[in-house]
């Protein structure tokens, strides 16, 4: 029997991935070995850093392409296209209803669409749904359900002004450099388009309560490289040409937040 693969070190950051400051220090560690998608190719101990300049919290590095390919070779059952579609429809409906107050129609691109619920529901409101995911099997499954879907990185798309809405539901914290994702979204949105973003809220009381009980799952979240507070996210959006319009508590995952922001200027 072949020996298990050796854990690969992360590609280390030499500066804060948000503000580029070289001044950051170790905040704490976490263990991702209990994550359902954990693979031995990943070092189990995650080291979290804090930027002295902007306060952002991030892992000390990110996965190389070959490690990403290994991690993305499997998917949580609840992230398969069509999974629990009726239950997820209610949550997605509340999201789409809020977004539609600002942009009522057009093309809706969902980045990292997972089970596809947000796109299925956006279609009910009259949006033209499109999906983008890094897992080939997920994109194939979505196409099989009749929705246009591609296996591609958001930053590689070159279709300026194509979309009215780009949703990045629990996506930015997965990107080694989230600014690249916002730059791409800004380019791909029409002038009055909006983004919908959700992620854990590092700055809320619910997070601190999980920490106090030593039961916070996000310090060992395998695929996360960032923990945003609401204020840091708002500042980050504004730095990339977006105006935050609406904040809400997310129903998708624990202690998460949701933000709708409009494209307001060229960057």
pLDDT above 70 (res 4): no
pLDDT digit string (tens) for 186-225? 999 999 999 999 999 999 999 999 999 999 999 999 999 9
Q: How far is 229 from 211, CA to CA, in rounded Å?
A: 15
What dihedral do alpha carbons 239, 241, 131, 18 form, nearest 10°? Answer: -10
Q: pLDDT category, 8, cuts 50, 70, 90?
A: confident
pLDDT at 110: 97
pLDDT above 60 (res 138): yes
Mapped onto helix, strand or coil, the DSSP state of residue 71 is: helix
pLDDT above 90 (res 267): no
Q: Looking at residues 140-157, what average pLDDT do you find?
A: 94
pLDDT at 68: 87
Q: How far is 53 from 30, CA to CA, in rounded Å?
A: 23
- The pLDDT > 70 percentage for the chain reads 97
pLDDT at 75: 74
Query: Which residue, among 173, 170, 169, 134, has the nearest Cα to 155 in the 3D structure?
Result: 134
Q: pLDDT category, 76, cuts 50, 70, 90?
A: confident
Between 11-20, 71-80, 119-128, the lowest mean confidence (pLDDT) is in: 71-80
What DSSP state is assigned to residue 73?
T
What strand order describes the sheet that includes 256-263?
148-151, 128-133, 107-111, 163-169, 189-200, 256-263, 242-249
What pTM does this model have?
A: 0.94
Q: pLDDT category, 92, cuts 50, 70, 90?
A: very high
- Tokens matching residue 194: 């909006």
- Tokens matching residue 94: 């509340």
Using CA atoms, how far residue 136 sits from 72, 76, 108, in Å, is 9, 14, 20
pLDDT digit string (tens) for 14-57? 999 999 999 999 999 999 999 988 989 999 999 999 999 999 99
pLDDT at 3: 55
């Amino acid at each position: 029997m072949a020996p298990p693969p050796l854990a690969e070190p992360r590609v280390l950051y030499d500066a804060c991935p948000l503000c580029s400051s070289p001044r950051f220090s170790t905040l704490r560690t976490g263990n991702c070995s209990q994550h359902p998608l954990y693979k031995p190719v990943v070092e189990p101990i995650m080291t979290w850093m804090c930027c002295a300049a902007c306060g952002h919290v991030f892992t000390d590095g990110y996965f190389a392409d070959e490690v990403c390919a290994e991690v993305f070779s499997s998917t949580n059952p609840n992230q398969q296209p069509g999974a629990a579609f009726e239950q997820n429809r209610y949550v997605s409906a509340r999201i789409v209803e809020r977004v539609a107050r600002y942009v009522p129609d057009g093309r809706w691109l969902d980045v990292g669409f997972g089970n596809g619920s947000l796109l299925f529901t956006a279609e009910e409101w009259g949006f033209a749904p499109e999906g983008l995911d890094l897992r080939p099997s997920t994109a194939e499954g979505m196409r099989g359900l009749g929705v246009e879907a591609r296996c591609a990185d958001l930053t590689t798309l070159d279709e300026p002004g194509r979309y009215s809405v780009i949703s990045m539901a629990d996506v930015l914290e997965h990107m080694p450099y989230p600014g690249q994702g916002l730059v791409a979204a800004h380019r791909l949105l029409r002038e009055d388009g909006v983004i919908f973003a959700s992620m854990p809220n590092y700055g809320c009381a619910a997070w601190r309560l999980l920490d106090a009980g030593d039961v916070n799952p996000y310090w060992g979240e395998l695929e996360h490289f960032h923990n945003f507070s609401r204020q840091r996210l708002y500042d980050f959006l504004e730095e990339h040409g977006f105006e935050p319009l609406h904040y809400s508590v997310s129903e998708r995952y624990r202690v998460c937040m949701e933000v709708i922001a409009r494209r307001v200027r060229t960057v």
